[in-house]
Amino acid sequence: MISEAIKYIGVNDHNIDLFEGQYDVPNGMAYNSYAIIDEKIAIMDTVDKNFGEEWLNNIKTALKGKKPDYLVVQHMEPDHSANIVNFTNAYPDAVIVSSDKAFKMMQNFFGIDFAGKNIVVSDGDTLSLGKRELKFFTAPMVHWPEVIVTYDCLDKVLFSADGFGKFGALDCDEDWACEARRYYFGIVGKYGVQVQALLKKAATLEIEKICPLHGPVLDENLGYYLNLYNIWSSYQPEEEGIMIAYTSIYGNTKKAVILLAEKLEKMGKKVVLNDLARCDMAEAVEDAFRYSKLVLATTTYNNEIFPFMREFINHLTERNFANRTVAFIENGSWAPVAAKVMAEMLSKCKNLSICENNVKILSALNDESKAQLWALANEL
């Protein structure tokens, strides 16, 4: 129970292996939905297609024989919208409340636009349920164009759509920030400007609880969560530290990276290593955005760079990587070009400070490249 009038009616998914077909979710996912029970009743979003029957049963249990008047659709991704038609079949008199773009998407998904039983809302529109009033705010590209968020003016609850979401089912006890950070940078990270715009709207509201579509309801120390979202969406480092991302074919680049990490740790620096061929790529992306400095170490490969490094840098640039110190370590047996390629890939990123003491390894470390390594450690 969120409040006397707001009930949780979502579901946990422990059968899923990859969220959105790419993100490993060992602790599953939660698809959150809420019932607001007043003189009129509003259901906030639906759930994934595999849990329609469970969700409809949750509605029946929460409403105790009453019927909902509205279904508010904040976001049209199928993990939240898949059961709209099932809901309207179960409750044919209910009215759907959503944005104009969402109704166009409903036509695309279901072949129905729900004309005659819909309410189109935009920024600042309200809906009275009786004692309480719902106020709607558009949140375009957080992280789809049709998104709205909803504020319960009486209970001071913000229904934040995918904002403030995280990986993991609700019956798993785990650190919020770790999986919320990976979720944010993987899924929402490209849209920092739009998240900043939403945060400005949220700043005008007195919020006591945040109800996201994934992850737990946030009802304590909200400043902590809002501050993290502000840091993430403004592309600022969250922590001082050095993330080293590397690929290595025969172990020589790895040896250099380990020596660098050991040197930095002896100097009292926080260091995180990611072997891009073996780690969870989403975890590596998360670390790159978490820490203030990034070292990229890879081999020249087909007059290019190793594929895992190219993929990693593409993930960074796609998500507007910025405001960091970056260093390069390259390896090549006859024509090393990796540093040049990596620098070119990052050239459009804003406010990157490129280290002067980059490292060139010709096949294996020697005295000269070790000296470059120690100079880089000192610069970092």
Residue 140 has pLDDT above 90, yes or no: yes
Secondary structure, 3-state, 16-33: CCEECCCEECCCCEEECC
pTM: 0.93
Per-residue pLDDT tens digits for 262-319: 999 999 999 999 999 999 999 999 999 999 999 999 999 898 899 999 999 999 999 9
pLDDT of residue 1: 76
The pLDDT of residue 258 is above 90: yes
How distant is the alpha carbon of residue 229 from its chain centre?
A: 10
**pLDDT at residue 141 in the model:** 95
Nearest Cα residue to 98 out of 79, 125, 78:
125
Q: What is the rounded CA–CA span in Å between residue 77 and residue 102? A: 10
Largest CA distance in the chain: 79
CATH number of 241-379: 3.40.50.360
Q: Do domains 6-233 and 241-379 have the same CATH topology?
A: no
pLDDT for the residue 377: 97
Mean pLDDT of the region 1-17:
95
| pLDDT band for position 358 (cuts 50, 70, 90) | very high
Any idea how long the chain is?
A: 380
pLDDT confidence of residue 335: 86
Provide the sign of the torsion angle of the four alpha carbons 209, 214, 215, 216, taken in this order: positive
Burial 9-42 (b: 16+ CB within 10 A, else e): bbbbbeebeebeeebebebbbbbbbbbbbbebbb
Band of pLDDT at residue 173, cut at 50, 70 and 90: confident
Rounded CA-CA distance 364/362 in Å is: 6
Category of 164 on φ-ψ map: left (φ > 0), alpha (ψ -120 to 50) or beta: left
Check residue 272 and give its pLDDT.
98
3-state secondary structure labels for all residues of the chain: CCCCCEEECCEEECCCCEECCCEECCCCEEECCEEEECCCEEEECCCCHHHHHHHHHHHHHHHCCCCCCEEECCCCCHHHHCCHHHHHHHCCCCEEEECHHHHHHHHHHHCCCCCCCEEECCCCCEEECCCCEEEEEECCCCCCCCCEEEEECCCCEEECCCCCCCCECCCCCCCHHHHHHHHHHHHHHHHHHHHHHHHHHHCCCCCCEEECCCCCCECCCHHHHHHHHHHHHCCCCCEEEEEEEECCCCCHHHHHHHHHHHHHHHCCCCEEEEECCCCCHHHHHHHHHHEEEEEEEEEEECCEECHHHHHHHHHHHHCCCEEEEEEEEEECCCCCCHHHHHHHHCCCCEEEEECCCCEEEECECCHHHHHHHHHHHHHC
| Average pLDDT value for the chain | 96
Q: Is the pLDDT of residue 37 over 80?
A: yes
CA dihedral 295, 190, 323, 245 (to 10 degrees): -10
Q: For residues 191 and 32, give the distance between their C-alpha atoms in angstroms, rounded to a whole number.
A: 22
The pLDDT of residue 360: 95
| pLDDT for residue 113 | 85
Q: pLDDT tens digits, residue range 87-126?
A: 999 999 999 999 999 999 999 999 998 988 999 999 999 9
Mean pLDDT computed over 345-367: 95
Look-up of token digits 């930095």: 264
Name, in order, each residue with C-beta under 8 angstroms of 331's C-beta and a sequence gap of 6 or more: 248, 252, 253, 256, 297, 298, 299, 300, 338, 361, 362, 363
Across 348-357, average pLDDT: 96
Residue 220 has a pLDDT of: 94
Number of Cβ within a 10 Å radius of residue 315: 18
Integer-rounded Cα Rg, in Å, for the chain is 24
Q: What is the mean pLDDT of residues 17-28?
A: 95
pLDDT at residue 247 in the model: 97
Q: Is the pLDDT of residue 374 over 90?
A: yes
Q: How far apart are CA 216 and CA 160, in angstroms?
A: 12
Q: Which fold has domain 6-233?
A: Metallo-beta-lactamase; Chain A (3.60.15)
Check if the beta carbon of residue 67 is closer than 8 Å to that of residue 91: yes
Domains in the chain: boundaries: 6-233, 241-379
Q: Which is nearest to 312 in space by CA: 249, 247, 222, 231?
A: 247
